[in-house]
């Protein structure tokens, strides 16, 4: 029996996670999945109830469970709080606490949705790339950091840092994933300007020696952003630092036409994972039955694959999502002319109904 901590979070988080739970319940009753669910608070809603975006109770539950399913965090009402009390701190704190260093962000174009992309169909059709983002180091966590007074004016600073071991472990993640795909890793840095980039590049070269079957190339981050939009199909696996990965993964997600379709995994060395949709909490459409629950439902599939080794059931979820898309059902964000537009809850029911 696997135990999963469910953290809906804020905004559309509650609605979309509710749909994923419907799917899990059906899999539990009819397909021998034995997943026990534990419920907790994170983000702004946790702050409202407990005064902290990451209550101790949530941290304890995270340690007692085998993985986490998260909706999304953030919203306008919490934006002016102290940095340590903001919803994002809940997310960053969980990543750090559970040492979820390896963030997998696939960008896959569903053939049914090729016309939803803002790019030409021939540029994106068949797109299947994986961004492997380092998630618990780099400039996001580096010290010193702050906003202080200096030389008679205000001064802001952050520090980008990586130990060799931190680069090595994310490198190994990327190469091992590439071995199961097209065996190509593109490492993204800014070695032409930053020492940390030069260092990153050298460490990746070292890791590559363990994987003679995988091709390693390097690209500067600015060029990588350009290439993602120009010819995204040239990439198989991209590996990069926390900050570049944040930016490039949003770019990659958009190539597919809907960020509402893409799940993600954040793993530690024991394959404990936090699974969440790539998109945010979308407070502007929260509570209106408009959000696309498919990324969250597909996050459950990713969890079954990467943390629980239940490939068969994961494939059932993927097949059910494909079937619903084939039947022409779409939430508003992915709808084109002639589609059957449905709400969040109905989309959840359709996926449950398509499981077989």
Residue of 250, 289, 318, 349 marked catalytic? 250
**Nearer to Mg ion (CB atom), residue 244 or residue 329:** 244
User: Percent helix, strand and coil across the chain, each rounded to 5?
Assistant: 50, 20, 30
Interacting residues of 87 by C-beta distance below 8 A, sequence separation 6+: 9, 10, 42, 43, 44, 47, 53, 73, 74, 75, 78, 281
Interacting residue with ligand IPM among 2, 28, 31, 88 (CB under 6 A): 88
Residue 7 tokens read as 């953290």
Residue 91 touches which of ligand IPM, Mg ion, none (Cβ within 5-8 Å per kind): ligand IPM
CB 295 within 8 Å of CB 74: no
Q: Could you say whether residue 246 binds Mg ion (CB under 5 A)?
A: yes
91 binds ligand IPM (CB under 6 A): yes
Mark the segment that binds Mg ion (CB under 5 A) among 12-20, 28-36, 243-251, 269-277: 243-251
What phi and psi values does residue 229 have, to the nearest 5 degrees? -85, -30
Catalytic entry in 246, 289, 318, 349 = 246
Shortest spacing between CB 127 and ligand IPM, in angstroms: 19
CA atoms within 13 A on the CB side of 188: 28
Q: Which stretch binds Mg ion (CB under 5 A): 74-82, 239-247, 304-312, 327-335?
A: 239-247
**Does 246 qualify as catalytic in the annotation?**
yes
Q: Is 190 a catalytic residue?
A: yes
Tell me if 7 sits within 8 A of 14, measured CB to CB. no
Q: Is 337 helix (H, G, I), strand (E, B) or coil?
A: coil
Residue 88 vs 99, nearer CB to ligand IPM: 88
Q: Which does 88 bind (CB under 5 to 8 A by kind): ligand IPM, Mg ion, none?
A: ligand IPM
- Contact (CB, 8 A) for 257 and 117: yes
Total interface residues for Mg ion by CB under 5 A: 1
**Least distance to Mg ion, CB of residue 44, Å:** 17
CB 104 within 8 A of CB 237: no
Residue nearest to ligand IPM (CB): 88
Q: Which stretch binds ligand IPM (CB under 6 A): 85-93, 144-152, 153-161, 165-173?
A: 85-93
Q: Is 349 a catalytic residue?
A: no
Length of the chain: 356
Residue 79's alpha-carbon distances to 43, 76, 85, 87, 348, in angstroms, are: 12, 5, 10, 8, 31
Contact set with ligand IPM (CB under 6 A): 88, 91-92, 246
Residues noted as catalytic: 140, 190, 222, 246, 250
Contact set with Mg ion (CB under 5 A): 246
């Amino acid at each position: 029996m696997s135990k999963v901590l469910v953290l809906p979070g804020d905004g559309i988080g509650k609605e979309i996670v509710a749909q994923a739970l419907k799917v899990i319940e059906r899999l539990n009753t009819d397909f021998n999945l034995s997943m026990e669910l534990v419920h907790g608070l994170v983000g702004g809603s946790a702050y409202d109830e407990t005064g902290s975006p990451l209550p101790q109770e949530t941290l304890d539950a995270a340690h007692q469970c085998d993985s986490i399913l998260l909706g999304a965090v953030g919203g306008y009402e919490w934006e002016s709080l102290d940095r340590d009390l903001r919803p994002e701190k809940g997310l960053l704190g969980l990543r750090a606490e559970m040492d979820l260093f390896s963030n997998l962000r696939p960008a896959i174009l569903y053939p049914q949705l090729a016309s939803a992309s803002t790019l030409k169909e021939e540029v994106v059709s068949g797109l299947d790339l994986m961004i492997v983002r380092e998630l618990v180091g780099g400039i996001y966590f580096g010290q010193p950091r702050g906003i202080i007074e200096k030389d008679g004016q205000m001064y802001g600073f952050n520090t980008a840092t990586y130990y060799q071991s931190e680069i090595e472990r994310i490198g190994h993640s990327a190469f091992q994933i590439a071995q199961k795909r097209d065996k190509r890793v593109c490492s993204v840095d800014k070695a032409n300007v930053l020492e940390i980039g030069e260092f990153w590049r050298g460490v990746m070269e070292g890791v590559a020696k363990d994987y003679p079957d995988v091709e390693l190339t390097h690209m500067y981050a600015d060029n990588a952003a350009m290439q993602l939009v120009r010819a995204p199909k040239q990439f198989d696996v991209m590996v990069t630092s926390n900050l570049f990965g944040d930016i490039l993964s949003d770019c990659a997600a958009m190539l597919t036409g809907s960020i509402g379709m893409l799940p993600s995994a954040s793993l530690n060395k024991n394959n404990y994972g936090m699974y969440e949709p790539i998109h945010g909490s979308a407070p502007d459409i929260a509570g209106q039955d408009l959000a696309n629950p498919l990324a969250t439902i597909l996050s459950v599939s990713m969890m079954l694959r990467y943390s629980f080794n239940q490939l068969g059931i994961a494939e059932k979820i993927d097949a059910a999502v494909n079937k619903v898309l084939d039947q022409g059902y779409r939430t508003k964000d992915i709808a084109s002319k002639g589609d059957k537009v449905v709400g969040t809850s109905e989309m959840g029911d359709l996926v449950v109904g398509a499981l077989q």
